[in-house]
Homo-oligomer: A and B are copies of this chain.
Amino acid sequence: MRPNYARARQQKRAHYDDATVRDILSGGLVGHVGFIAEGRPMVIPMAYALVDDTLYLHGASKTRLALLDATPLCLTVTHLTGIVAARSAFHHSVNYRSVVVHGLARRVEGEEFDMALNAITEHLLPGRISEVRPMSEQERKATGVVALDIEYASAKVRTGPPVDDDSDLTLGLWAGVIPVTTALGTGVQDAHTPAGVPAPPSVGEARRKFSGA
């Protein structure tokens, strides 16, 4: 994230344990996927799902990303949790939890294809697949799924108040943290939902899962 001014501090923020990585990936709404296109870096926001040690992405079967195979991908998921206001501009920062994942793209077919598509939908709306009309063959053909088998993942976490220079602590200034929260609201039904049909369980599950994410 921001400063990384001091390498020592940067290293203090790095967490490589599997549980931290999985927790951050599981709680992310969208990821930012990086790939190289015509020699340039490209970053696009995408829905995703984590299954064991593989991340899944999808898109129209003809899109650039869906056609990638055996090329390097990066997926980054960030939860911003606060703005850190210090007594000097230098020590301003943000509180966050993030994961950066690297691996090669792999095109997905067969049984893994259906499993992955379901997982992507259920990442955002747990249980949704059993609530909706099944996928058609035409829809399958129109969709591409790419796997990112995780080769390397690193998490970084910053929490807590600003870390000011000792000599700044007596300046009499206000310093602290402005919390940043992300919340899911009440589901708003569309015009074609019959009167009296309540929001399904998946909506409540999503609100519980991502509250405070």
Contact = CB atoms under 8 A, between A and B. Distances in A.
Nearest to A96: B45
A64 to B, nearest CB: 10
Number of copies: 2
Contacts of A128: 85, 89, 92
Given A162-B190, A183-B181, A188-B179, A142 B74 contact: no
B29 A80 contact: yes
Nearest to A9: B60
Given A6-B60, A202-B85, A1 B46 contact: yes
A152 B34 CA distance: 17
A70 interface: no
A5 B143 contact: yes
Given A32-B32, A34-B41, A45-B76, A187 B183 contact: no
Nearest to A10: B60
13 contacts: A4-B63, A5-B139, A5-B143, A6-B142, A32-B32, A34-B74, A36-B36, A43-B43, A43-B76, A85-B128, A89-B117, A132-B173, A172-B197
